[in-house]
Amino acid sequence: MKEEALVTRKLGKLEVSCIGLGCMGMSFHRSFIPDKKEMIALIRKAYDSGINFFDTAESYGPFINEELLGEAILPFRKEVKVSTKFGFVINERLGDDLDSRPEHIRKVVDESVKRLKTDYIDILFQHRKDPAVPIEDVAGTVKDLITEGKVNHFGLCEVNEETLRKAHAVQPITALQSEYSVMTRQPEKDILKACEELGIGLVAFSPLSRALLTGYINERTRFNPQNDNRIGLPRYQPEAIIQNWKLIDILKEYGDYRGLTIAQVALVWLLAQKPFIVPIPGTTKLSHLMENMEATRHHFDPDELNELTKKLSSVEIVGDRYAGISASQVNMK
């Protein structure tokens, strides 16, 4: 039974629930792959609970995450918004090769809609910028796909302000997808201002920093090297986790006095930054889904928010987001 809808937000002109569901971890990069039937049930519970925005990509799995999401949302496809992505060559070196040539974009779209069991994509993101293909050509190709009815909206991932503006001049950008959380605050430097000026929404991936901002991961946590990108990321090394625990302490203390969990405080803080920010925390557990959704019903008054932000800003984060700058390393959520 469909429950009460969540408050909505605008990504450009596209209206979505104020929090979405990132589906990657149901198939990829999170140490284990849960039972498919359980994940379909989880996605449908998210929809019944008010979430209408689901994020995936061909590279998650690869391919199987799109198939999972397509099967899960089939009964209510017209009622939800789906985003998927192009930009990588899918081979045994997943993520090492970029390809945003127009013919490749079209090929990915044709294959993605089949896996998603649909005939259109709500938001098509370029997963990572391809230096070999001018962004204007990429935007022009997506513009044509929009005209043809295969795509409804265009998005970019992890690009700078200059690239965002160049693409937006050819085909209006609906959303920029970038990592943003109390631990990763780079978008505050210039991207948030540009998005606000241009009317572009920000889809915040890893809003809980791949579970670091839950308190469930500590220096003793072991990741499966066969299916978990966190094992090679600097912030997930034992010493960095210990050093960054100050952030967890701040979130916990703040939440304890307000009946909120660590994760909920992190999400409420993020939602308070700008009205066009839509976090897409991922989970494979129903309890965590409900925990994340409950965060959308809480608000901090301005004094509380300023106090919390000041405390969070005093923590110097140890460890970079990625160990280097190769395509494979930035293709990790």
- pLDDT for residue 5: 74
pLDDT at 319: 96
Is residue 240 in a domain? no
Compute the distance between CA of residue 39 and CA of residue 293 in angstroms, rounded to an integer: 17
Question: Do the domain assignments include residue 214?
Answer: no
Nearest-angstrom CA–CA distance, 302 and 137: 43
Report the C-alpha gap between 180 and 169 in whole angstroms.
Answer: 25
**pLDDT tens digits, residue range 98-109?**
999 999 999 999
Whether 221 maps to a domain, the answer reads no
The band of 57, judged by pLDDT with boundaries at 50, 70 and 90, is very high
Over residues 54-77, mean pLDDT: 97
- Within a domain: residue 153? yes
Domain containing 175 equals 8-208+273-298
Greater confidence, 325 or 199? 199
pLDDT tens per residue, range 110-140: 999 999 999 999 999 999 999 999 999 999 9
For residues 98, 169, 204 and 192, what is the CA-based torsion angle, rounded to 10 degrees?
130
Predicted local distance difference test score (pLDDT) of residue 304: 96
> What pLDDT is recorded for position 133?
98
Kindly report the number of other CB atoms within 10 A of residue 280's CB atom. Answer: 24
Q: Specify whether the CB–CB gap between 56 and 50 falls below 8 A.
A: no
Query: What angle in degrees, to the nearest 10, is found between the helix axes of 302-313 and 238-256?
Result: 160
**Percentage, residues of the chain above pLDDT 90:** 92
Q: What is the pLDDT of residue 1?
A: 56
- 26 inside domain: yes
pLDDT in the model for residue 329: 40
Q: What's the count of helices (H) and strands (E) in the chain, helices before strands?
A: 11, 10
Query: Which CATH number is 182's domain given?
Result: 3.20.20.100
Q: Is 60 a catalytic residue?
A: yes
Mean of the per-residue pLDDT values for the chain?
95
- pLDDT at residue 331 is higher than 50: no
User: Is the pLDDT reported for residue 332 higher than 60?
Assistant: no
Asked if the structure places residue 233 within a domain, the reply is: no
CA distances from 204 to 47, 113, 278, 312 (A): 19, 24, 6, 18
Q: Binning pLDDT at 50, 70 and 90, where does residue 328 land?
A: very low
Q: Which runs of consecutive H residues, i.e. helices, occur in the chain?
A: 36-48, 64-73, 102-115, 135-147, 161-170, 191-198, 238-256, 262-271, 286-295, 302-313, 327-330
Q: Please indicate, yes or no, if residue 242 is contained in any of the structural domains.
A: no
pLDDT digit string (tens) for 272-310? 999 999 999 999 999 999 999 999 999 999 999 999 999
The pLDDT of residue 75 is above 60: yes
Q: Please give the pLDDT value at position 77.
A: 98
157: enclosing H helix or E strand: strand 151-157
The position carrying tokens 């005209």 is: 147
pLDDT band at 324 (very low <50, low <70, confident <90, very high): confident
Total domains, the chain: 1
Q: Does residue 219 lie in a domain region?
A: no
Residue of 106, 103, 60 lying closest to 84 (CA atoms) = 60
